[in-house]
Amino acid sequence: MKEELLLFADYNVILVNWSKGSKAVYHQAVANIRVVGAQLAHLINTMIESFRMNASDFHIIGHSLGSHTAGYAGERVAGLGRIS
């Protein structure tokens, strides 16, 4: 998906590799998404504050449990642009 986004426009893309957290038994992986979502939100909020970026310019894309991770991150980023 990253390659397709970059072909479409000159975006900045950040990939989140949570493979170690997702390899656990399902109920533990589900619990881990809250932590990963909080960490992602912290990264985004730090970028917003440090580089004077706009939260509305961020778009978080997630698949399967990653979509829930995106939702948890979105709860912690005021004015987040989009989640899909």
Whole-model pTM: value is 0.92
Name the H helices within the chain. 2-8, 19-22, 26-51, 65-75
pLDDT in tens, 18-28: 999 998 899 99
Q: What's the confidence (pLDDT) of residue 77?
A: 99
In whole angstroms, what is the distance from residue 45 CA to residue 22 CA?
A: 24
pLDDT in tens, 35-70: 999 999 999 999 999 999 999 999 999 999 999 999
Q: What's the confidence (pLDDT) of residue 27?
A: 94
In whole angstroms, what is the distance from residue 55 CA to residue 12 CA?
A: 14
Angle, CA 4 vertex, CA 42 and CA 56 arms, to 5°:
35
Determine the angle formed by the axes of helices 65-75 and 26-51, rounding to 10 degrees: 40
